[in-house]
Amino acid sequence: MKIGIAGLGLIGGSLALALRERHEVTAYDTDERARAAAKADGIRIVSRLDELVPADAVLVATPISAIVPALEQLAARADGAVLLDTGSLKRAVADYAARAPVGARIVGGHPMAGTTSAGFSAADAELFRGRAFLLVPTARSDDGAMAIAGTIVRDVGAAVTVCSADVHDRAMARLVAGPLATAAALAVVGAQAEPLVGAAGPGFRDSTRLAETPADLAMELLFGNSADAAAAIASIIEALIQLRRSLERGDRDYVRSFLAAARSVRGELA
């Protein structure tokens, strides 16, 4: 297939590297340095977003706030190309698709992979291997568009999981925004361990890894779906309150069951 990629950060760059052996890949980024780095790595680069079409598919891997504007620009010239975004939130994409031109073919996508590093220099062709890649049908997703999106997902080594935009965003508030907020809170509280915070072991370091998320991305994840993110944070706070109260009253049975439930959920991720 002929595949265009808009955005050459960690996700877009990794997609380009993962797909170029099987497909004809062309990419674009607003950042001249990102374009130069990708070109030096053998990726074909164009100088304008609309030069990514005609194509069989265009993957929109821009920052969240730029996804819908990019889809709007591409949809006007797509001529049948499947437009697949890779953002962490889906309601805005679904809302745009509902009002997009009738001939547009739009599928929401979200690879459940990443690191706290950013930019093309962090791109890795193996980033998606063995990971879930969520596909979200929209009002402009026909069977052929879903099939093409599925092929792309499998060709980067990921596994297809299909869900609705509402289910996706509610879940991501608990699987992405909540953990991000919790990691940030743990890091802030951990500062109270001075002067020994620098000696923290792997437990604290692993638990606060998401606090390294670039601030712009973290803000988009929290404010892009603020109601669900706030609800997720409230649920975390309530769980901690219950745990604190059990400690205060010496309720070992509750604490043991709480820890067992947590261990069980964690075990399912292995």
Residues 135, 149: contact at Cβ < 8 Å?
yes
How far is it, in rounded angstroms, from Cα 140 to Cα 87? 17
Please measure the distance between the N-terminal and C-terminal CA atoms of the chain and give it in whole angstroms.
Answer: 34
Pure H helices in 26-142: 32-40, 64-75, 91-99
Cα dihedral 28, 29, 35, 39 sign: negative
pLDDT in tens, 192-248: 888 888 888 899 899 999 999 889 889 988 998 999 999 999 999 999 999 999 999
Q: pTM, whole model, 2 decimals?
A: 0.85
Please give the Cα distance from 182 to 221 (Å, whole number): 13
Could you report the per-residue pLDDT of 179-208, keeping only the tens digit for each?
999 999 999 999 988 888 888 889 989 999
Tokens linked to 12: 């877009």
Q: How far is CA 199 from the centre of its chain?
A: 32
